């Protein structure tokens, strides 16, 4: 009781101080322990995870989202925005009770992956028997938010406000101060800890004034729902690296897959304007059509395969053929800009960035939102422990621990993804040869493949 009165008084004094320079309404603003800005996949999951954390059960959480409430209705039609979720994400979804809703509705399992170089035709494959039971699950983004939302709406300590427009954040200058969140409509909230899950254009990150290293890839991601010719068991994710960017098809169900095709902006714009039959031809060409390749590359990769055969190691001769595409679900084609972004700091006193607000990667490795869910798990653990140890939320030492742990994982992953993008974005024969030999070598060595999959699953 006494703690609450002190808190209210402190709030009021800080609020009155803010009024010196700005004019907002004069009531003491409602106070929350945590305010999360952004109710995308990461923000919604963070709200649910923190809300379910028994160590934080007497803490009030507010989730602010600028969009309308999610109203997912099951239709036969699949969404064109899907994510490949790794094992860690699957475990998190299970822990917060959302996976059962996803599994009840629909998702697919990726048991095999085949990735190959369009120029040299060298490939690497991951088979579920060699590496793990399931490499990834493919889930529609909207369905994931719906499933998490189903758990979130039962939590008494979490409130959600949609269609909010945030005017400004006033961040603490000293450890004892609160964060102020002023909405356009004149409403104000205060909190001990502000969590920015507001995506790549984060307003929270701007308010923090942290350094943000970013660039645009000269590529857009074309997405669509594809109809396949054969209704065979569809459990393989295919990715072919073309000189203009990678094309990937991810299984949805036996005769449906989801397309993610990264290509030049002009090509992307041309593709989405095409008639269905022409678009289908372009997709099949991108998956199947052989490209010219220099004889040196051909001879060298052949010779390396022979060497691998001699040692009875797997070679890239065992390449499987991808499925044939016969149609595109009407209205499912769209294109999204692709970019890289890294906030050099994820935290400041009383505030932290989570998900795409902190880091943005090329989708070629299907890691973007998985990194965000990794942030959620780590932050949840650290905040729970802080409160359990009697510390207040938002202390910089706890937040710095979150930053260190996550940057230690996220940054090398981001550099590796960007490196892969650069490595495959060239037709320069010596580079093509080197990357092809590297791929053959990796494919031949199961422990190396296991290490790659384990890293991608974290």
Ligand X SMILES: Cc1cc2nc3c(=O)[nH]c(=O)nc-3n(C[C@H](O)[C@H](O)[C@H](O)COP(=O)(O)OP(=O)(O)OC[C@H]3O[C@@H](n4cnc5c(N)ncnc54)[C@H](O)[C@@H]3O)c2cc1C
Contact residues: ligand X, CB under 6 A:
37-43, 64-67, 83-84, 164, 166, 197-199, 203, 221, 223, 260, 336, 355-356, 363, 366-370, 372
Closest separation in Å from C-beta 361 to ligand X: 7
Closest separation in Å from C-beta 390 to ligand X: 31
Closest separation in Å from C-beta 180 to ligand X: 15
Nearer to ligand X, 62 or 387 (CB): 62
Closest separation in Å from C-beta 40 to ligand X: 2
∠ Cα 218 220 222 (to 5°): 155
Nearer to ligand X, 172 or 341 (CB): 341
Nearer to ligand X, 98 or 432 (CB): 98
Nearer to ligand X, 37 or 113 (CB): 37
Closest separation in Å from C-beta 145 to ligand X: 8
Closest separation in Å from C-beta 177 to ligand X: 22
Closest separation in Å from C-beta 100 to ligand X: 21
**Residue with the CB atom nearest ligand X in the bound state:** 40
Closest separation in Å from C-beta 369 to ligand X: 4
Residue carrying the six token digits 């959620």: 376
Residue carrying the six token digits 């199947």: 288
Nearer to ligand X, 18 or 66 (CB): 66
Nearer to ligand X, 301 or 410 (CB): 410
Nearer to ligand X, 244 or 440 (CB): 244
Nearer to ligand X, 283 or 369 (CB): 369
Nearer to ligand X, 235 or 445 (CB): 235
Closest separation in Å from C-beta 28 to ligand X: 23
């Amino acid at each position: 009781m006494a703690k609450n009165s002190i808190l209210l008084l402190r709030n009021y004094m800080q609020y009155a101080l803010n009024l010196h320079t700005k004019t907002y309404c004069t009531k003491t603003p409602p106070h929350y322990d945590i305010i999360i800005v952004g109710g995308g996949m990461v923000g919604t999951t963070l709200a649910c995870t923190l809300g379910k954390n028994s160590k934080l059960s007497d803490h009030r959480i507010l989730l602010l989202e600028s969009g309308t409430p999610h109203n997912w209705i099951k239709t036969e039609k699949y969404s064109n925005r899907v994510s490949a979720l790794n094992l860690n994400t699957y475990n998190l979804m299970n822990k917060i009770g959302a996976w059962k809703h996803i599994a009840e509705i629909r998702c697919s399992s990726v048991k095999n992956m085949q990735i190959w170089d369009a120029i040299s035709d060298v490939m690497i494959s991951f088979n579920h028997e060699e590496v793990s039971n399931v490499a990834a699950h493919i889930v529609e983004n909207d369905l994931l938010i719906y499933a998490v939302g189903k758990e979130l709406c039962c939590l008494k300590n979490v409130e959600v406000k949609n269609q909010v427009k945030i005017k400004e954040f006033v961040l603490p200058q000293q450890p004892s101060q609160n964060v102020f969140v002023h909405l356009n409509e004149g409403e104000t909230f205060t909190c001990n800890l502000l969590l920015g899950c507001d995506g790549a254009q984060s307003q929270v990150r701007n308010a923090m004034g942290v350094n943000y290293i970013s660039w645009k890839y000269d590529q857009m991601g074309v997405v669509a729902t594809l109809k396949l010719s054969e209704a065979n068991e569809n459990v393989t994710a295919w990715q072919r690296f073309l000189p203009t960017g990678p094309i990937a098809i991810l299984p949805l169900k036996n005769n449906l897959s989801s397309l993610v095709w990264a290509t030049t902006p002009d090509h992307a714009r041309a593709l989405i304007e095409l008639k269905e039959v022409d678009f289908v031809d372009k997709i099949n060409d991108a998956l199947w059509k052989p490209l010219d390749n220099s004889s040196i590359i051909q001879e060298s990769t052949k010779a390396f395969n022979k060497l691998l055969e001699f040692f009875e190691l797997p070679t890239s001769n065992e390449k499987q053929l991808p499925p044939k595409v016969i149609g595109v679900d009407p209205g499912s084609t769209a294109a999204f800009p692709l970019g890289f972004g890294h906030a050099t700091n994820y935290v400041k006193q009383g505030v932290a960035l989570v998900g795409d607000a902190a880091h943005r990667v090329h989708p070629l490795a299907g890691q973007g939102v998985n990194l965000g869910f990794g942030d959620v798990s780590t932050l949840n653990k650290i905040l729970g422990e802080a409160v359990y140890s009697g510390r207040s939320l938002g202390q910089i030492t706890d937040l710095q621990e979150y930053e260190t742990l996550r940057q230690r994982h996220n940054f090398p992953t981001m550099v590796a993804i960007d490196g892969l993008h650069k490595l495959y974005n060239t037709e320069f024969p010596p580079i093509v040869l080197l990357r092809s030999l590297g791929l053959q070598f990796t494919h031949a060595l199961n422990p190396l493949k296991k290490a790659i999959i384990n890293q991608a699953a974290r």
